[in-house]
Amino acid sequence: MPGFYIGLMSGTSMDGIDAALVSFDKPGVTIHATHSQHYANELKDALLTAIRAPLDVQLDASGELNRRVGESFRDAALALLEKSDVRIEDVMAIGSHGQTLRHQPSADPPFSLQIGNADIIATGVGATTVANFRQADILAGGQGAPLVPPFHQWLFSSTDADRVIVNIGGIANITVLPADGSDAIGFDTGPGNGLMDVWTRQHRGQSFDSNGEWAASGNVIESLLAQYLADPYFALSPPKSTGFEYFNPSWLRRFDLDGFDATDIQATLSALSAQSIAMAVKEQAVGCEEVFVCGGGVHNQELMRHLRNALPGAVVSSTSGVGLDPDWVEAAAFAWLAMRTLKQQTGNLPSVTGATHKVVLGDIHSP
């Protein structure tokens, strides 16, 4: 009987919790059940308020959010199990990313804060839960992010060709997988869906731009795009990671947008995400012809069009072509990281995070 693991993931877009029940058998992942669960509207609003104005969050409110997110993750895991034929006794562990409220790898001292009480998950579901994955890497001198590239390396590497895996959530990141088997390179390239979501909420009253249709109806403002791409973050050498702490509404307000049509600005933000990803691919994977995309951004047709245009020498497609549905890569990755933690195997890549050495990641919570 295979060992079953559950991965729970909620990213910077805060569009909800992805839960996947998986088993692993090199070189692949078998997905046995999946479940997506939106945050309750009130909770999502409270989380968005917390990340937009962290200095205004009271200690009591922070504690309440930690509990409510833990309960939401617990409920997502229980709903996932209800969809499967797997008994909880056969689940080896749950890997919970939690919900990032603050990621400050360059602060003094550096830190990254994920909430979602893991004891609530472990006790409520009845399975060992691994959480708080970033801290050990940060203590080893790393950025604590991105954490998914080791999983990309395990699953998607090819000896026939260099590959790049692009994950587009609220923030976008890439993993460069050399065909010669050398260590992967991975880092956050900048905004993915996040800035587009912000602009859509402000001007359309919607959570996101479905399929990129609004952006597709506008025209890219080349002068504004050039200003966006001149941001110093894009010129930084890896290792580097970022989040909503940087690419947020305040970032957008740095630029003089008077006189520009809101639709054209959305089109420009779509081009920004694609161009910044493409710049990173061209710099770190010269001549790479295989680019595979996962995360919510893979469904944004306008963003994918921009990305293909920006990488004319590569075939840009989804990770479904190399073994895993693009919607479940991150959830599966945290299930995989939980498995490695239980086996006392390292989970970070210093070539990605900048840590001084490999470490076992995560805290283990028993039911």
Instruction: Give 22-45 pLDDT, tens digit per residue.
Output: 999 877 899 999 999 999 999 999
Name, in order, each residue with C-beta under 8 angstroms of 42's C-beta and a sequence gap of 6 or more.
none
Which residues, including other chains, have CB under 8 Å from residue 107's CB and lie 6 or more apart? none
Distance CA 334, CA 332 (A): 6
- Paired with 174 in beta bridges are 166, 187
Query: What pLDDT does 22 receive?
Result: 98
pLDDT at site 14:
81
Q: Find out whether 130 and 343 touch, Cβ atoms under 8 Å.
A: no
Give the position of tokens 């691919």: 281
Q: CATH for 4-144+328-365, among 3.30.420.40, 3.90.75.20, 1.10.10.10, 3.10.20.600?
A: 3.30.420.40
Give CA–CA dist 291/284, Å, rounded: 13
Q: Which residues of the chain have pLDDT under 50?
A: none
Tell me if 316 sits within 8 A of 308, measured CB to CB.
Answer: yes
pLDDT (tens digit per residue) in 79-116: 999 999 999 999 999 999 999 999 999 999 999 999 99
pLDDT score at 13:
78
| Vertex 363 angle, CA 240 and 107, to 5° | 30
pTM of model > 0.85:
yes
Q: What confidence score (pLDDT) does residue 326 get?
A: 98
Total residues found in the chain within this entry: 367
Helix (H, G, I), strand (E, B) or coil at 283: helix
Q: 159: which residues sit within 8 A by CB, 6+ positions away?
A: 179, 181
Q: Write down the architecture of domain 149-322 according to CATH.
A: 2-Layer Sandwich (3.30)
The CATH 3.30.420.40 portion of the chain extends over: 4-144+328-365, 149-322
Q: Provide the terminal-to-terminal Cα distance of the chain, rounded to the nearest Å.
A: 22
CB 297 within 8 A of CB 93: no
